Amino acid sequence: MASRVVSFTLNGRPVEVIVKPLTTLQRVLREQLGYTATKSGCRQGGCGSCTVLVNGEPMLSCLLPADEIEGQVVMTLEGMTENGNLHPIQESFFEKFAIQCGYCTPGMIMVSKALLDHNPKPTRDEIIAAITGNYCRCTGYEPIIQAIADASQRLNGN
């Protein structure tokens, strides 16, 4: 059997890739498609830096064989901007100093997007619960929590 063609939707556009069995979505995104916002951190499912949305739900692309995403809808950080403008969540991260080294940021923003899509007005505890799988070693999390709360307000028109 060896390689196969996998078709899926990436950031709103249909794509086809030829993948060897068991190749992770992370490698397909970074190495085959050049979408390097999705980071390669621990590759153990521990750090969350490779988080992408599959059908709107956060998943770890380092643990997901590309064979599984046939016909699925995948969103990465590259899909957040619209017409060259930052997404409101990105603006909040920028303005609230929620980014230092930036390594966790793509995963943080993807999980924030999923949270705010599911729950447009999360409580502080709900925000904390949503990002427990995403490690940040710079900020101490507080600016990130505030950025997500701020993004919630922006997206709700305040």
Can you give the binding site for other proteins, defined by CB under 8 A? 1-2, 4, 20-22, 24, 43-45, 48, 51, 57-60, 62-65, 67-68, 111, 114, 128-134
Q: E strands along the chain, which residues?
A: 4-10, 13-19, 51-54, 57-60, 73-75
Pairing of strands 73-75, 4-10: parallel
Instruction: Give min distance, CB of 116 to other proteins, in A.
Output: 13
**DSSP H or E run through 70:** none
Nearer to other proteins, 111 or 148 (CB): 111
DSSP 106-139: HHHHHHHHHHHHH-SS--HHHHHHHTTTS--SSS
Nearer to other proteins, 6 or 80 (CB): 6
Instruction: Give min distance, CB of 117 to other proteins, in A.
Output: 13
Which one-letter amino acid corresponds to residue 47?
C
Nearer to other proteins, 36 or 95 (CB): 36
Nearer to other proteins, 82 or 125 (CB): 125
Instruction: Give min distance, CB of 26 to other proteins, in A.
Output: 9
